[in-house]
Amino acid sequence: MTPIALTIAGSDSSGGAGIQADLKTFGALGVYGASVITALTAQNTRGVTGIHDVPADFIATQIDAVFTDLDIGAVKIGMLSQVPAIAAVAEGLARHDAQNIVLDPVMVATSGDRLLAVEAIAALCRDLIPRALIVTPNLHEAAALTDASLARTESDMEAQARQILALGPRYVLIKGGHGDNADSVDLLVSEGEVVRLAAKRIVTRNTHGTGCTLSSAIAAGLAKGLDLVTAAREAKDYVTEAIKAADKLTVGHGHGPLNHFHQFWRRA
């Protein structure tokens, strides 16, 4: 059986994040990727210059087209900029009894450009977070979801993760990549345990699409039948290696992309 994962997210015209990063990640990890596009962005490594939202009814049509034909093993959700889009995705996932949902609450691009309307945060918490197997906020997103200050310690990260857990997901992975410690530490928190995922922090400006890549790598693992903790560990390893190899690419003049196909291109 071919493992299949679906990404529901926005398109990045520069290819480093969003739908494009997700499909690259799925392919690199041996998973067939399908997509539902929620928004078109005009962006590059320097920033976002425009967003064109896909109508909610067409988002629903894409979801129905995919689920009525493909055997979807996992779903990654990324950019949903408006309330109607969130509602369309929540209703579509319920309609098709989607499983293994990985929700990356994309709020701000690496460049600092806002990708989620402020009024949509409440809809995200109400309609989608409770459906997720795992939610993967970075430090800034976790603070916004919990209406708290930016976490400075691992205790702060765990406390915010447990606030998000109270909304209904089974796991929360708070990503520490925006911190300033020697190690980049992510905390995977569930009702009964905390798993610490650490890697040496890599000094590079080429981190565009890191969050998208991590969440889609988790979805790829789930589509292949891995348990959540193993999928998260393997996703962390994959992203770390993709960041290490990022400087071998020369793409754009700002925050460049990860090297999603590092293991294949090195061989070539």
Ordered alpha helix ranges (H), the chain? 18-28, 56-67, 83-95, 120-123, 139-146, 154-165, 210-223, 228-244, 262-267
Kindly state the DSSP code that residue 13 receives in the 8-state scheme.
T
Q: Which residues contact 252 (CB under 8 A, 6 or more apart)?
A: 14, 16, 44, 45, 46
| Active centre residues (catalytic) | 175, 207, 209-212
Distance CA 216, CA 232 (A): 10
Does the pLDDT of residue 142 top 90, yes or no?
yes
Stated pTM of the model: 0.94
What pLDDT is stored for residue 115 in this prediction? Answer: 64
116-139 pLDDT tens trace? 777 788 899 999 999 999 999 999
Rounded to an integer, the average pLDDT of 133-151 is 93
Q: What are phi and psi of 11, to 5 degrees?
A: -90, 135
Distance CA 252, CA 140 (A): 25
Domain residue ranges of the chain, discontinuous segments joined by + = 4-262
Q: What are phi and psi of 171, to 5 degrees?
A: -140, 150
Question: Which residues does residue 10 pair with via DSSP β-bridges, in sequence order?
Answer: 39
67-96 pLDDT tens trace? 999 999 999 999 998 899 999 999 999 999
CATH superfamily of the 4-262 domain: Ribokinase (3.40.1190.20)
Residue 179 pLDDT class (50, 70, 90 cuts)? low
Grouping H, G, I as helix, E, B as strand and the rest as coil, residue 197 is strand
Residue 113 pLDDT class (50, 70, 90 cuts)? low
What pLDDT is stored for residue 176 in this prediction? Answer: 86
